[in-house]
Homo-oligomer: A and B are copies of this chain.
Amino acid sequence: MEKWIIHSDLTSDSELFVGENLMGQYPLIDLCQKLKGHVVICSDVALKNLYAKKLSETLNADLIFIPSGEKSKSFETANKVLGQLFKLQCRRDTVLIALGGGVTTDLVGFVASIFMRGIPFISIPTTLLAMVDASIGGKTGIDISYGKNLIGSFYPPHAIICDFKTLESLPENEYLNGVAEIIKMGLIQDASICELFMQGLQKNELIYKAIQGKIKIVEQDPKEKGLRRILNFGHTIGHGLESISDYQMAHGEAVALGCIVESYLSMILGFLSQNDFELIQKLFRRFSLHLPKNFRRDSILKAMSFDKKNINNALRFVLIDRIGHAIPFQGDYCRSTSEVELLKALQWMEDQYG
| Contact A146:B75 (CB < 8 A) given known A91-B311, A116-B308 | no
A153-201 contacts to B (CB < 8 Å):
153-154
Instruction: Enumerate chain B residues within 8 angstroms of A151, measured Cβ to Cβ.
Output: 82, 114-116
Query: Do B117 and A313 touch across chains, with their CB atoms under 8 A apart?
Result: no
Least CB distance, A254 to chain B, in whole angstroms: 20
Query: Do A141 and B154 touch across chains, with their CB atoms under 8 A apart?
Result: no
Query: Do A82 and B144 touch across chains, with their CB atoms under 8 A apart?
Result: yes
Least CB distance, A105 to chain B, in whole angstroms: 15
* Minimum CB distance partner of A154 in chain B: B117
Query: Do B152 and A117 touch across chains, with their CB atoms under 8 A apart?
Result: yes
Query: Do A153 and B153 touch across chains, with their CB atoms under 8 A apart?
Result: yes
> Quick check: is A10 within 8 A (CB to CB) of the other chain?
yes
Distance between Cα atoms of A118 and B110 in the complex (Å):
13
Instruction: Enumerate chain B residues within 8 angstroms of A288, measured Cβ to Cβ.
Output: none
Which among A110, A114, A310 has the highest number of chain B CB atoms within 10 Å?
A114
A90-112 contacts to B (CB < 8 Å):
91-93, 110
Write the A109-153 contact mask toward B (1 if CB under 8 angstroms, else 0): 010011111100000000000000000000111001110001111
With A83-B146, A91-B308, A114-B152 known, 7 other A-B pairs at CB within 8 A are A83-B144, A114-B151, A114-B153, A115-B151, A116-B151, A117-B154, A153-B153
